[in-house]
Amino acid sequence: MNAVLETRALCKSFGALVVADSVGFRLAPGARHALIGPNGAGKTTLLNLITGRIEPSSGEILLAGEPVTGLRPAARVKRGLGRTFQINTLFRQLAVIDNVALAIAERDGVAGGMFRPASRQRAVIDEALALLATLGLAEDARARVADLPYGKQRLVEIAIALGLKPKVLLLDEPAAGVPSLESHRILEVLDDLPRDIAILIIEHDMDLVFRFAQRITVLSQGAVLTEGTPAEIAADAAVRQVYLGERHG
């Protein structure tokens, strides 16, 4: 099967520090794929390489079979790459619905209109409301994001990305900082995400990873250590060593 997202021999180094070491990685259509690894393994670097926030030293990135290496982040978004952020990256002083509508309007190409009022963009607003309803945020549509509890702000993170109708969705620790009482809500939302979106999730919460992911890639020191099903990864001795910090040999 053709991968919707693929990296080939992707390398990135800052001086002598190698943060991505020939990473080859494939994301299948509709995948539920987790990227794990200890702190400093290069997970966020890989995400930033894929989205184009940083340029690779060498290697290639393909989106739906097309090379996107060197394209600006916005151009990759237009080709169906959506992402969320580990630390909330929201329009805090704006209403929840505006947070989502901004994304939908960009996707629809109506965000640059200067004369007609934004409130006449019925299609954008209706879609935003429907999207918020599926995430259980309908009642918060008019609330200011800054006034929402943290757990709901994490859902707005996901809502903005979904507003782009991405083919590939990169979730950077979607449950980070959410108290465990509220994190089940995030999990429900993740379970209900449309099946046609290929999802790559970075997560430290292993319960969440093993519940959500069908495949897991383990990164260590910028390189792919191994890849497999959750069962294979759980049984992998090298993975245990990396996580428990045991010495090799």
What does the binding site for another protein look like in residue numbers (CB under 8 A)?
A: 51, 73-75, 77-78, 83, 85, 89-95, 97-98, 101-103, 105-107, 110-119, 121, 124-125, 128, 141-142, 144, 160, 163-164
Residue 110: exposure state from Cβ atoms within 10 A (0-12, 13-18, ≥19): middle
Strand 215-220 relative to strand 32-36: parallel, antiparallel, unpaired? Answer: parallel
Q: How far is the CB of 140 from another protein (least distance, A)?
A: 12
Contact (CB, 8 A) for 135 and 165: no
Q: How far is the CB of 95 from another protein (least distance, A)?
A: 5
- CB 178: neighbour CB atoms within 10 A? 22
The crossing angle, in degrees rounded to 10, of helices 96-108 and 122-134 is 120
Q: How far is the CB of 32 from another protein (least distance, A)?
A: 22
CA distance linking residue 227 with residue 32, whole number of Å: 13
| Minimum CB distance to another protein smaller for 21 or for 108 | 108
Contact (CB, 8 A) for 131 and 162: yes
| Minimum CB distance to another protein smaller for 116 or for 248 | 116
Per-residue HEC secondary structure of 184-215 comes to HHHHHHHHCCCCCCEEEEECCCHHHHHHHCCE
| Minimum CB distance to another protein smaller for 23 or for 160 | 160
| Minimum CB distance to another protein smaller for 75 or for 231 | 75
| Minimum CB distance to another protein smaller for 144 or for 185 | 144
Q: How far is the CB of 97 from another protein (least distance, A)?
A: 6
Q: How far is the CB of 125 from another protein (least distance, A)?
A: 5
